[in-house]
Amino acid sequence: MEKGVDWALERGFGSAEDRLHIEEEGRIPGADSSKVSEKAMKRGEAQLGTVGSGNHFVEVGYVAEIFDRQAASSMGLAQDQVTVLVHTGSRGLGHQVCDDYLSVMLAASRRHGIELPDKQLCCAPVNSKEGKDYLAAMAAAANFAFVNRQMIMHWTKESFEEVFRVSGRALGLALVYDVCHNIAKVESHEWNGKKMRLCVHRKGATRAFPPGHRDIPEDYRAIGQPVLVPGDMGRCSYVLTGTRQAYEETFGSACHGAGRVMSRHQAKKAAKGRAIEREMEDRGIFVKGASRRTLVEEISEAYKDVDNVVNVLHNAGIGKKVAKLVPIAVIKG
């Protein structure tokens, strides 16, 4: 929680160059594990290195289309290349951190005289004790998430090496980018002509910094930060780059997924009587879920069409399309 991905690297999960392609180099500053409850730690202890349920996944796919050859080349992406996309986070530990601080923030809202239109919007001033404690606990959870994804990536590499009997380096398995989502971060931005330090809250969103920004890995600075937008298990996902316009209009942010159009309950009703695994196989996609329930909740039609979502991002200038990834095999927790 405090050392972030360095903890994983010290134990042989990956190589030092991985750190260079992780947001904040895999360690958000200010993390304080003492602000994380024992209950949260217990939940996380058994889940480190796991994908989890819901919309989390490990997806093997391939590059079906290239839109920006220079950017794709900088990221090591090429036409028809096999890719692995991992979506997961801080698991039960992060969920418990959120739960723990809800009651703290409700009390803080009352104490600081903040009127809430909804209890779920409970909050505290960033510089208050409650605000500082939460940011420290949230950073710890985010660092836990970096480690979680790092371990999953390492074991994925080992699986490829075992099957193909070739080293991961020879196979060209290298980290493109690991990016945070669902997080609040203190950043410098321009607002009304002034440079300010702001707390940017990205929920269902991810960072999309422009070319030249100092927080982007050096080998990506000419193209902008990689932006990963997963779709659904039956269609496709996208890699984009951040833009100057996003930095000016959205505080350097873009969506981090297609977004649902059906609730999980609605998806279950829509999938009733259907053999989802067989449907996917007929489309050339192998799916493995921890349970049938997971698969029916994640049917493609439960999500917006990511093609449309990404075209909006691209045409609005918030992100620039680089590559389209089409799934071959998907593992759902």
**Are both 133 and 230 inside the same structural domain?**
no
Q: Which of 138, 173, 208 is the last residue of a domain?
A: 173
**Are both 78 and 101 inside the same structural domain?**
no
User: How much is the pLDDT for 181?
Assistant: 87
**Are both 36 and 154 inside the same structural domain?**
yes
Known catalytic residues?
256
Q: Which of 156, 173, 190 is the last residue of a domain?
A: 173
Q: Which of 117, 148, 173 is the last residue of a domain?
A: 173
Q: How confident is the model at residue 71 (pLDDT cuts 50, 70, 90)?
A: very high
**Are both 271 and 316 inside the same structural domain?**
yes
The per-residue pLDDT for range 214-225, each reduced to its tens digit, is: 999 999 999 999
**Are both 93 and 27 inside the same structural domain?**
yes
**Are both 231 and 315 inside the same structural domain?**
yes
With a cut of 90, say whether residue 230 has pLDDT above it.
yes
* Phi and psi angles of residue 192, each rounded to the nearest 5 degrees, phi first: 55, 40
Q: What CATH number does the domain containing 196 carry?
A: 3.90.1860.10
Q: Give 82's contacts (C-beta < 8 A, 6+ positions apart).
A: 60, 61, 62, 328
Strand-pair category, 286-289 with 319-332: parallel
Residues above pLDDT 70, as percent of the chain: 100
**Are both 185 and 130 inside the same structural domain?**
no
Between CA 150 and CA 18 the distance in angstroms is 9
**Are both 197 and 285 inside the same structural domain?**
yes
User: How much is the pLDDT for 291?
Assistant: 86
**Are both 104 and 242 inside the same structural domain?**
no
Between CA 23 and CA 32 the distance in angstroms is 19
Domain that holds residue 255: 53-86+179-333
With a cut of 90, say whether residue 47 has pLDDT above it.
yes
Query: Are 91 and 142 contacting, i.e. CB atoms less than 8 angstroms apart?
Result: no
